[in-house]
Amino acid sequence: MLHLAVLHSRKLCVYSVSGTLGNVEHGNQYQIKLMYEHNLQRIACNMTYGSFGGVKGRDLICIQSMDGMLMVFEQESYAFGRFLPGSLLPGPLAYSSRTDSFITVSSCRQVESYKYQVLAFATDADKRQETEQQKLGSGKRLVVDWTLNIGEQALDICIVSFNQSASSVFVLGERNFFCLKDNGQIRFMKKLDCSPSCFLPYCSVSEGTINTLIGNHNNMLHIYQDVTLKWATQLPHVPVAVRVGCLQDLKGVIVTLSDDGHLQCSYLGTDPSLFQAPKVESRELNYDELDIELKELQKIIKDVNKSQGVWPMIEKEDDLKVSAMVSPNFDSVSQATDVEVGTDLVRSVTVKVTLQNRVALQKAKLSVYVQPPLVLTRDQFTFEFMAPEMTRTVAFSVYLKGSYTPPELEGNAVVSYSRPTDRNPDGIPRVIQCKFRLPLKLICLPGQPSKTASHKLTIDTNKSPVSLLSLFPGFANQSEDDQVNVMGFRFLGGSQVTLLASKTSQRYRIQSEQFEDLWLVTNELIIRLQEYFEKQGIKDFACSFSGSMPLQEYFELIDHHFELRINGEKLEELLSERAVQFRAIQRRLLTRFKDKTPAPLQHLDTLLDGTYKQVIALADAVEENQDNLFQSFTRLKSATHLVILLIGLWQKLSADQIAILEAAFLPLQQDTPELGWEETVDAAISHLLKTCLSKSSKEQALNLSSQLSMPKDTSRLKKHITLLCDRLAKGGRLCLSTDAAAPQTMVMPGGCTTIPESDLEERSVEQDSTELFTNHKHLIAETPIPEVSSLQGVSE
């Protein structure tokens, strides 16, 4: 008769199931009655059953304990127990009736098969403490039938036999599932995209194939026919067990069990739609009326877009308000970990972001981003539900991790959320962002001023100079309080910047050994000057730049970044070649080892070892080049910010025009092998030169290439940047619409050159523009800096 066996941690219970015909609408009733039970001496892990040893008419039960012991029970009696060799942790267990063997996955991550007859005649578990000679005695040693290394732990094993000729062993791993033959050979395997939770092989309608249900931790259920994905469906829970059954004459019902004990019966497919569209009366269309109606609708759409934009943004600001506050003081205990700055003490500063919502919000997610090498202690915050009139505050710390300076001290906090409405209970997705500014002292310390430097900039103002001690109170050097017009800054990476204020003229000079290091101090100086004069009630303060544009220094950084990109491609190509060579040597060695008649290796093992060392060395070189490329791109972004700032001060550009320059020069957050900074910026600048900065309509008609690829060198990019500055110097102005750019072409002086369409034209443009943009290093060398102690004015 059919009975129910239930395995507990310390007990095995066998019940009989009996049914009673129901007389009411509740249906039949079933009762279970305990027939017998076994109290286990060891903690049980799993069990399997079958007609072990070919016994007829009854099933035996095999239980695997947590310490790797197999215990066999024959009805009410205990038969024997055997320890699996080398067992550390128990794995899934299954019984194959065709081969009369137990199949499991050991801690060595390999599938193992043990014959029942070998288990029955092996050394008993109670005599495990015998000596080695007795263990190795005749007929006493437990020998494995076959093994297969799968390289991962297994979640479940299922043995399927839909015909009498062959059976299959299915093994569900952590990343793959395998189908094996009776002798352990792989029939096929499939790599899974998601982490699986359970599986069930079942028969297929196609001859010679097997269907498999696989549930995963993404609440998905996949149906495979051998290795081909046939169907995928979403579940409301993560299934931990799945079966296929027939319920009330409904075949193919999928029963899934969740980890919290919920059963779900479902079927594949979709509900049939009983709706039939009514027949439409055929009538002739009046195309004139349709044209009139279309024009009216287009006019309404155009008016709406002009008045309030594409999307109405009336309630957006009222839904959620996001504010960020940066602590003025350092953290008492620095949160910096794994820093690569050297001997300097890296401090951290706390940032608090506050969310105030007026209405109920769902699935609010806060993401915070700062420029590397600045690092956040936490950058993601999730709020499943926010009640109306609720305030949430989160805090995190920011610190410098790398030994180079970030391109910006500005951080960005972005909140994405869903606002439920009457028509859409799931909510309308919306995004709101808030920017915050980190203090300069987070990455910079007071330093000793330097009298000489390779790179210098002079910023002119229209107001009398301000004491640097009042602008930078946290960077005053106690040893030189009398020198209020000189201040030194030392970044945590080691580079130094000196700031000088003229005593007589309205000028400030910033100088450093590295060109890109000038950016942060220059930008901080301008921001603090603007804040200082705003507090004084002065609104007409302005800065300007009248020196020569430092394009030569900027081009050196571009060349260095591009050289690292070229080196990266060469190293990856070499690594690919060595990997192909390594695999070819492996194949030849494997062929030699499999050969029944051994042949000499002919130094293939030496060649394999040498190739392996080359692969490792090239991989290390690729990683080192990637780190250098990332740092070079960060320095290039700092220099780009500085060039944009100087162009804006030089030509007195508006905020909109500076935004266009930033979009053209800083289109990427990071470099990728498919899309780099050089080709992207070259395309953007070429577009500006052929639209708003064009001289004639002929240039506007030129089309840019639709596909961006890595250039051979940077000469074209550098010529376009020089030409952009040339056109801005001769009166050109930046705008996005080509209609607005057309009148400017008439106002621009006649000296503006057209965009070169060949190398000869580009050479002539380069010769004309060199008169305007001279080498900044040579210019500074002609005018020595006066002594710091007797500085009266800053000469250009």
For the segment 612-629, what is each residue's pLDDT rounded down to a tens digit? 999 999 999 999 999 999
Q: Is the pLDDT of residue 221 over 70?
A: yes
pLDDT at 281: 64
- The three-point CA angle 681-687-690 to 5° equals 140
Of the ranges 265-279, 450-464, 770-784, which is most confident? 450-464
The Cα 75–Cα 3 span in angstroms is 11
pLDDT tens-digit profile of 330-341?
888 888 887 877
pLDDT for position 61 = 94
Residue 641: what pLDDT? Answer: 94
The average confidence (pLDDT) of the chain is 82
- Which range has highest mean pLDDT (187-201, 263-277, 298-312, 666-680)? 187-201
The pLDDT of residue 580 is: 95
pLDDT of 701 reads 52
Position 748 scores a pLDDT of: 37
Place of tokens 């550009």: 653
Residue with tokens 């007990």: 11
CA atoms within 13 A on the CB side of 191: 2
Residue that wins the pLDDT comparison between 795 and 14 = 14
pLDDT band at 793 (very low <50, low <70, confident <90, very high): very low
> What's the pLDDT at 787?
36
- Give the pLDDT score at 721: 92
- The torsion angles phi and psi of 508, rounded to 5 degrees, stand at -130, 140
Q: Where are the beta strands (DSSP E) in 540-620?
A: 543-544
pLDDT at 19 over 80: yes
Q: What is the tens place of the pLDDT at every residue in 570-589?
A: 999 999 999 999 999 999 88
Q: Which pLDDT score, from 0 to 100, does residue 422 have?
A: 66
Average pLDDT for 727-745: 65
3-class secondary-structure state, position 538 = coil
pLDDT band at 503 (very low <50, low <70, confident <90, very high): confident
Q: How confident is the model at residue 127 (pLDDT cuts 50, 70, 90)?
A: low
Letter for the amino acid at 319?
D
Query: Coil, strand or helix: which one is 243?
Result: strand
Quote the Cα angle for 215-218-224, to 5°: 35
Mean of pLDDT values over 718-744: 75
Query: What is the structure's pLDDT at 697?
Result: 61
* The model's pTM: 0.57
* Contacts (Cβ under 8 Å, ≥6 apart) of 768: 726, 753
CB 65, CB 125: distance < 8 Å: no
Query: What confidence category does residue 764 fall into, taking pLDDT thresholds of 50, 70 and 90?
Result: very low
Q: What is the pLDDT of residue 317?
A: 53
Tokens of 170: 């299915």
| 151: nearest Cα among 108, 187, 197, 91 | 108
CA distance 341 to 370: 18
Does residue 644 contact residue 661 with C-beta atoms inside 8 Å? yes
Whether 225 has a pLDDT exceeding 60, the answer reads yes
- Lowest-confidence segment of 24-33, 132-141, 171-180, 410-419 by average pLDDT: 132-141
Q: How much is the pLDDT for 71?
A: 93
Position 9 confidence tier, pLDDT thresholds 50, 70, 90: very high
Residue % of the chain over a pLDDT of 70:
83
Q: For residue 292, what is the enclosing H or E element?
A: helix 287-308
What pLDDT is recorded for position 196? 94
- Contact (Cβ atoms closer than 8 angstroms) between residue 113 and residue 94: no
Residues near 437 by beta carbon (within 8 Å), at least 6 away in sequence:
326, 409, 410, 411
Residue tagged 């609408």 (tokens) = 25
Looking at residues 79-98, what average pLDDT do you find? Answer: 89
* pLDDT computed for residue 125 by the predictor: 59
pLDDT at 789: 35
Residue bearing the bigger pLDDT, 305 or 133? 305
Q: Which two tokens stand for residue 219?
A: 């609440």
What proportion of the chain, given as a percentage, has pLDDT over 90? 42
Does 147 have pLDDT greater than 90?
Answer: yes
* CA 347 to chain CA mean position, Å: 27
- Which of 21-25, 445-449, 668-672 is predicted most confidently? 445-449
- pLDDT value at residue 212: 92
